[in-house]
Amino acid sequence: MNIKKICCIGAGYVGGPTMTVIAQKCPHIEVTVVDLNAERILAWNDENVENIPIYEPGLSSIVAEARGRNLFFSTDVEKAIDEADIIFISVNTPTKTYGKGKNMAADLKYIELCARQIAKVAKSDKIVVEKSTLPVRTAEAIKSILDHTGNGVQFQILSNPEFLAEGTAVEDLLHPDRILIGGDRTPEGQEAIAALVAVYANWVDRDKILTTNVWSSELSKLTANAFLAQRISSINAMSELCEKTGADVNEVARAIGMDSRIGNKFLKASVGFGGSCFQKDILNLVYIAKSYGLHEVADYWEQVIIMNDHQKRRFSNKIVQTLYNTVADKKIAFLGWAFKKDTNDTRESAAIYVADALINEQAKIAVFDPKVSESKVLSDLNYLQSRSSDENKDAISSLDSAYSACKNAHAVAVLTEWDEFKEYDWTKIYESMQKPAFIFDGRNILDKQILEKIGFVYCGIGVL
Ligand code: NAD
Ligand code: UGA
């Protein structure tokens, strides 16, 4: 099958960058990204490419190159489905907030809506690709919906999970560790796999394109995220022990990371992992294990989340304890609000939970993040429903520079590892703060010795 037109449903953090890179690398394929969110599509089509809705290093220039040539963003979902040979489903799959599996299972209502819409609109055979992260065996439900259209259209369902990380999305898409494609063992299934392999082979070495059955592919995605998050919870667990024993978690991470069996990546102790996926995907894994009666398996993975919640709480408790057990009416400057550097995404950011805990103690928070707006900070806090929007407005503000956020503050807390924080004039910041001036480095990115020499009281993660 020769692919001429691709449609992607969902113009979010995955759909947008993924399709942009496919369009750049496959100028012979027309790629249309559709979304129900008209505002988001408007932003993707903004004349000034710097205003696209997602900040990712290197993304805007590729959008500028491909948009209008063979890359299109539209709200006309039906037209794009009708015309496409391949349809990627890249919609959100959040944790369920109601009913059976509440707070654990993945909410598949958006996925099902897509399947129903494809079933309704399609008049010719299609390959439907699960790009979203899904519980193992979701393809079965999609197939059932698509196979009951009764109009004779044939569908092949492939699983092609995305492994990009935000902040490095373009680099990850251009040079992936692997591309994973799961499909049926039937001749039709194999033909569909071959068609998708041919798309990626335009820029990815064939030996990095792995093909499996559908269930292995779906489960591999959840497994990869669980393993990655587990490493962070493991090093964070050690960070607490380091603080009790005088060991330095950065030194421990370096020492174990040099063992080639362990490897040195994903060993940075922190205030806790955030992002829209690690927690959601592990909860989903735990739910699946429980639903098969595998309680030991479920408990094992749930501990990764328990440890992460503990680490976020531990960080806010440490701030309160160190500031003489009260932060009431004290100003605390937050450097960073995004869940990691080089992204404007704040979903499940540790900063939100730390701020919430400190506001419960009546602290005043002044945030500076180079890519996050004041309205986003407020809406993130409001989402927790801990207090009224007016109370949040009174307790938190967002400033346009770190220097103004830190002015007259009793303490600075580093919540995101933005590189620019390391370049600041910390003497100037120190001089503008209340004394003693405290710094809580939730990312271990600043130089403890230099800061202490300036006069700061320094508290890192897992270092004394
Ligand atoms: P997102 O919320 O940024 O984007 C999803 C988009 O889908 C939204 O804009 C929404 O309006 C749109 N949408 C929902 N239902 C729709 C429908 N029926 N028709 C048209 N549009 C619809 O989510 P995301 O971060 O891009 O994640 C998407 C999926 O990819 C999730 O399953 C996630 O787990 C997975 N994933 C995310 C990342 C990441 O870094 N964010 C990485 C790998 C995998
Ligand atoms: C993660 C995975 O890395 C991607 O492979 C996956 O595709 C994606 O989830 C997904 O499925 O959504 P992402 O969440 O974008 O990507 O970013 P990560 O780099 O994994 O960071 C996640 C969180 O862990 C961040 O808050 C980060 O600061 C934190 N982290 C990361 C640490 O605290 N320590 C580390 O050593 C690494």
The pLDDT tens digits of the residues spanning 18-47 come to 999 999 999 999 999 999 999 999 999 999
Residue with tokens 């493991």: 234
> Using a 6 Å cutoff on CB, does residue 274 contact ligand 2?
yes
Give the pLDDT band of residue 148 (cuts 50, 70, 90): confident
Torsion of CA 163, 168, 169, 174, to 10 degrees: -90
Given this model, what pLDDT does residue 2 score? 87
Residue-wise pLDDT for 358-375, tens only, equals 999 999 999 999 999 999
Q: Whose CA is nearest to atom 24 of ligand 2?
A: 273
Three-state secondary structure call for residue 145? helix
Q: Whose CA is nearest to atom 30 of ligand 1?
A: 132
Percent of the chain residues topping a pLDDT of 90: 98
pLDDT averaged over the chain? 97
Taking Cα atoms as reference points, which of 220, 70, 206 lies closest to residue 130? 220
Given this model, what pLDDT does residue 151 score? 81
Give the pLDDT band of residue 152 (cuts 50, 70, 90): confident
Residue-wise pLDDT for 178-208, tens only, equals 999 999 999 999 999 999 999 999 999 999 9
> Using a 6 Å cutoff on CB, does residue 276 contact ligand 1?
yes
> Using a 6 Å cutoff on CB, does residue 277 contact ligand 2?
yes
Distance 434 CA to ligand 2 centre (A): 35
**Residue ranges of E strands in 109-267:** 126-130, 155-159, 179-182, 209-212
Q: Order the strands of the 411-414 sheet from edge to edge.
A: 396-398, 364-368, 331-335, 411-414, 438-441, 457-459
Residue-wise pLDDT for 299-355, tens only, equals 999 999 999 999 999 999 999 999 999 999 999 999 999 999 999 999 999 999 999
DSSP 67: B
* Ligand number with the minimum distance to the CA of 284: 1
Rounded CA separation 451/373 (Å): 28
Give the pLDDT band of residue 1 (cuts 50, 70, 90): confident
Residue with tokens 């079965």: 140
> Using a 6 Å cutoff on CB, does residue 253 contact ligand 2?
no
Percent of the chain residues topping a pLDDT of 70: 100
Which residue in 8, 242, 277, 459 is the catalytic one? 277
Given this model, what pLDDT does residue 197 score? 98
Average pLDDT over residues 368-387: 97
Q: Order the strands of the 155-159 sheet from edge to edge.
A: 71-74, 30-34, 5-9, 86-89, 126-130, 155-159, 179-182, 209-212
Given this model, what pLDDT does residue 453 score? 98
What is the number of the ligand 2 atom nearest to the C-alpha of 167?
A: 15
Given this model, what pLDDT does residue 144 score? 92
Contact yes or no for 338/349 (Cβ under 8 A) = yes
Peptide bond connecting 27 to the previous residue in cis, omega within 30 degrees of 0: no
167: Cβ contacts below 8 Å, ≥ 6 apart: 56, 57, 340, 341, 342, 343
Mutational test site, ligand 1, from 87, 276, 280, 339, max ligand atoms within 8 Å of CB? 276
Statement: residue 150 has pLDDT above 80: no
Residue-wise pLDDT for 41-88, tens only, equals 999 999 999 999 999 999 999 999 999 999 999 999 999 999 999 999
293: Cβ contacts below 8 Å, ≥ 6 apart: none
What is the number of the ligand 2 atom nearest to the C-alpha of 345?
A: 15
> Using a 6 Å cutoff on CB, does residue 176 contact ligand 2?
no
Contact yes or no for 446/424 (Cβ under 8 A) = no
Q: Is 114 tagged catalytic? A: no
Average pLDDT over residues 136-155: 90
Q: Whose CA is nearest to atom 4 of ligand 2?
A: 165
Given this model, what pLDDT does residue 429 score? 98
End-to-end CA distance of the chain: 61
pTM assigned to the model: 0.97
Q: Which amino acid is at 457?
A: V
Rounded CA separation 324/322 (Å): 5
